[in-house]
């Protein structure tokens, strides 16, 4: 230890850094960081502003770690002697607190002897009392009188620390082993790395290096003591185990759930059941996943759902069941898994560990219900109380006698002897799991701060009866059952396509081309969709336009009637919206007086030359004289083409072909069908025309007439 003032109570950050005390930083910046993290300045009795030049802060030695305090006291004792009388009561008790238990026991035995002597002085002299007690305990009278001398002038309530053996405070006088500086540097570099080698193997490699470099090392035990005394344990753990190891050195935050109430907050997670189950549609037995919601206040499991793997449908099912049975919570604490961070549930959340958060994403169910979303820190199971409930389920439910032979063990190397000898039917599995969760909630003797010996059911029921609960409406329950997806409506008629299904209603014409949120039942896509704006405003319902049979005349007639109905409605609406027709508006324009004709006299006149005047006079006489154009030389082939053009010029054009009738189109299609059935080639354009024509109502109606009455019925 470096030199410092003995019995010094107040220390500046620079003095602490240069003192080299155990478990303390070696620089002023490190001390200030330590003081800030431990909140030293928030304790006014142990931290104060420095009044001298330069200002700053001073800290009392009581704030130092225990090993640093013991070294300060030991140094003080070595300077002041072995009687320890110069220590005040605070220093004495702090020094005593750091002593081993054996030394404390010796002090307690001495105190008991002195108390016995003091009690006997009520009936006899102190000298006789010391003699009697010394004979009984087998100690000399001089020893007992020495013990009285150790506490002379000390208040009786503070005797215990002064009776402790004083040799514990003495400084060692032996010669300390020293090594060359490279040895210390190499040992730290070798041992303090993330691979985590053992100290013995690190020491051997460093000693081999020292032998080759001519460096003097320490012995193995001395080197280990030097390393532990120089580098704090927390720093060693961080350098050898990284961030995860460092976090394990500090206890987790203890959250007080007694300040909550029933349904004020819930948490949810997934758990794979350690039981093989026969699942419909799977060739082999599987281990299902359970999704459960738990009340944070009471610990009661409120709802649950089972599926083959964690997914958003199972989460939404369990969440809807909780809303229907118990109400809407204020807070939801979720695992950071993708099944909980899905945008059906958490869309619009400010922060997620999964999926990017975008401004244009639709609001999820929780945001629309006003539930505040919280996501647990990844890799911290202690942040989710439901993990404790899953441990009970793994022990009680998975090992139920009715699951014998289907239990797989809680880890790969814990498989029972009858592993995979049978599988449980899904119906039996759900029944046993439901009974197990009910027993879990009803079990008495829970030791949590809120249960206090009661069951989770009783704890929840007591608070639920007094807490303000928000009940879910039918509309809110329907939202929880539905998935959501952002779609863009058709730019012309507003129809929406979702998973190869078309959805449309009359009112969607008004929002054609817009992006909307479609909420739908993923298990029944034909039941229609409920359309919302991106802000969560309900716009309307759209039915599914299911595809009709290829030759379904009734569907075609129904579509035609619907088209005619919409046309009549729009004509009626047009008359109401436009009370004056276009013809009436034109008559009104005709009634207006004609505007007076205005003439404009040219201000600038261009003089014509003689040639232009002559041409104008010739035109008046009906003779147009053109300038002679020299004819270019032509080839014999060009002359022949010119003669043919002159011969055909002025000939009558052939008459246009007659327009194809509906009968012609139908039998043209029938001819293509016959060629296709006979295996004869059909041209690409013919095939394309046939596919388009076969979808028309003309073809379907003519085909029906042809099949019933023959070719004569086609007109």
Q: Enumerate domains of the chain plus CATH numbers.
A: 10-169 (1.10.10.60), 181-248 (1.10.10.60), 265-464 (3.30.420.10), 482-545 (2.30.30.130), 662-713 (no CATH)
Give the N- to C-terminal CA distance of the chain in Å, as an integer.
Answer: 116
Q: In what order do the strands lie in the sheet with 501-504?
A: 483-488, 515-520, 529-532, 538-545, 501-504, 496-498
486: helix, strand or coil: strand
For residues 217-234, give the mean pLDDT.
88
- Token pair 């229907």 is found at 324
pLDDT given for residue 523 in this prediction: 65
Determine the Cα–Cα distance for residues 360 and 531; give it in Å rounded to an integer.
Answer: 16
- pLDDT for the residue numbered 691: 85
For the stretch 461-478, pLDDT in tens is: 998 988 888 887 777 666
DSSP E strands: which ranges in 346-417? 372-375
Non-local CB neighbours of 132 within 8 Å, separated by 6+ positions: 120, 124
- Out of 222-226, 296-300, 313-317, which region has the weakest mean confidence (pLDDT)? 313-317
Count other C-beta atoms under 10 Å from residue 453's C-beta. 11
Most confidently modeled range among 93-107, 355-369, 536-550, 632-646: 93-107
Residues with Cβ within 8 Å of 538's Cβ and at least 6 positions away in sequence, in order, are 530, 531, 532
Give the model confidence (pLDDT) of 307-365 as tens digits. Answer: 888 777 788 788 888 888 898 888 888 776 666 666 656 655 555 445 555 544 555 66
Q: What pLDDT score was predicted for residue 172?
A: 47
Q: For position 374, what pLDDT does the model report? A: 80
Nearest residue to 545 via CA among 529, 563, 522, 523: 529
| Verdict on whether the full-model pTM lies above 0.75 | no
Lowest mean pLDDT among 243-257, 330-344, 641-655: 641-655
DSSP state of 392: H
CA dihedral angle for residue 645, residue 647, residue 649, residue 655, rounded to 10 degrees: -110
pLDDT at site 36: 87
Using alpha carbons, select from 105, 87, 83, 106 the residue that is nearest to residue 95.
87
Q: Distance between CA 495 and CA 518 in Å, rounded?
A: 12
pLDDT confidence bin for 205, thresholds 50/70/90: very high
Interatomic CA distance for residues 497 and 485, integer angstroms: 11
* Overall residue count recorded for the chain in this entry: 715
């Amino acid at each position: 230890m470096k030199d410092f003032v003995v019995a010094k109570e107040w220390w500046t950050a620079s003095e602490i850094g240069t003192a080299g005390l155990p478990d303390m930083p070696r620089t002023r910046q490190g001390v200030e960081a330590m003081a800030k993290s431990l909140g030293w300045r928030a304790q006014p009795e142990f931290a104060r502003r420095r009044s001298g030049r330069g200002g700053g802060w001073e800290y009392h030695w009581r704030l130092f770690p225990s090993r640093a305090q013991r070294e300060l006291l030991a140094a003080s004792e070595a300077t002041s002697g072995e009687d320890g009388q110069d220590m005040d009561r605070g220093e004495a008790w702090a020094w005593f607190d750091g002593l081993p238990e054996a030394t404390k026991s010796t002090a307690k035995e001495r105190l008991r002897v002195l108390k016995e002597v003091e009690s006997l002085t009520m009936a006899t002299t102190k000298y006789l009392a010391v003699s009697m007690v010394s004979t009984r305990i087998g100690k000399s009278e001089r020893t007992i009188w020495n013990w009285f001398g150790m506490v002379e002038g000390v208040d009786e309530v503070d005797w215990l620390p002064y009776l402790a053996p004083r040799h514990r405070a003495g400084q060692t006088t032996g010669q300390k082993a020293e090594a060359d500086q490279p040895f210390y540097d190499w040992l730290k570099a070798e041992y303090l790395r993330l691979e985590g080698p053992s100290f013995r193997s690190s020491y051997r490699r460093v000693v081999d290096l020292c032998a080759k470099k001519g460096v003097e090392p320490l012995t193995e035990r001395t080197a280990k003591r030097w390393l532990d005394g120089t580098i704090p344990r927390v720093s060693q753990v961080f350098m050898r185990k990284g961030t995860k190891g460092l976090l394990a050195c500090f206890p987790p935050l203890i959250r007080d759930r007694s300040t909550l109430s029933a349904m004020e907050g819930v948490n949810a997670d997934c758990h794979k059941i350690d039981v093989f189950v026969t699942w419909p549609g799977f060739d082999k037995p599987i281990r299902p996943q359970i999704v459960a919601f738990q009340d944070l206040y009471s610990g009661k499991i409120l709802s649950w759902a089972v599926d083959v793997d964690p997914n958003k449908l199972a989460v939404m099912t369990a969440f809807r069941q909780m809303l229907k049975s118990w109400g809407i919570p204020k807070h939801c604490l979720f695992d950071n898994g993708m099944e909980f961070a899905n945008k059906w549930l958490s869309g619009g959340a400010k922060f997620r560990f999964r999926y990017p958060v975008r401004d244009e994403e639709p609001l999820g169910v929780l945001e629309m219900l006003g539930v505040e979303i919280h996501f647990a820190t990844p890799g911290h199971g202690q942040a989710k109380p439901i993990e404790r409930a899953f441990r009970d389920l793994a022990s009680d439910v998975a090992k139920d006698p009715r699951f014998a032979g289907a239990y797989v063990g809680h880890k790969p190397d814990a498989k029972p002897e009858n592993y995979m000898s049978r599988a449980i039917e899904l119906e039996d599995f759900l029944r046993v799991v439901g009974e197990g969760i009910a027993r879990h909630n009803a079990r008495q003797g829970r030791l949590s701060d809120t249960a206090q010996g009661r069951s989770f059911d009783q704890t929840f029921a007591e608070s639920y009866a007094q807490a303000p609960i928000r009940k879910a409406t039918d509309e809110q329950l329907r939202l929880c059952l539905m998935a959501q997806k952002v779609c863009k409506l058709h730019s012309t008629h507003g129809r929406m396509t979702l998973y190869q299904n078309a959805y449309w209603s009359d009112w969607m014409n008004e929002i054609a081309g817009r992006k909307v949120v479609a909420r739908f039942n993923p298990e029944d896509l034909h039941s229609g969709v409920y359309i919302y704006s991106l802000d969560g405003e309900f716009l309307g319902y759209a039915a599914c336009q299911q595809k009709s049979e290829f030759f379904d005349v009734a569907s075609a007639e129904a579509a035609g009637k619907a088209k005619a109905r919409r046309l009549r409605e729009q004509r009626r609406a047009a008359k109401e919206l436009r009370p004056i027709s276009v013809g009436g508006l034109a008559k009104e324009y005709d009634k207006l007086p004609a505007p007076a004709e205005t003439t404009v006299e040219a201000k600038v006149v261009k003089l014509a030359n003689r040639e232009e005047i002559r041409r104008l006079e010739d035109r008046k006489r009906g003779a147009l004289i053109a300038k002679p154009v020299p004819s270019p030389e032509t080839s014999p082939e060009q002359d022949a083409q010119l003669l043919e053009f002159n011969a055909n010029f002025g000939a009558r054009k052939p008459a246009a072909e007659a327009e194809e009738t509906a009968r012609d189109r139908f039998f043209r299609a029938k001819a293509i069908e016959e060629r296709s059935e006979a295996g004869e080639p059909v041209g690409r354009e013919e095939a394309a025309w046939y596919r388009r024509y076969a979808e028309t109502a003309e073809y379907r109606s003519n085909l029906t007439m042809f099949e019933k009455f023959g070719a004569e019925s086609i007109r």
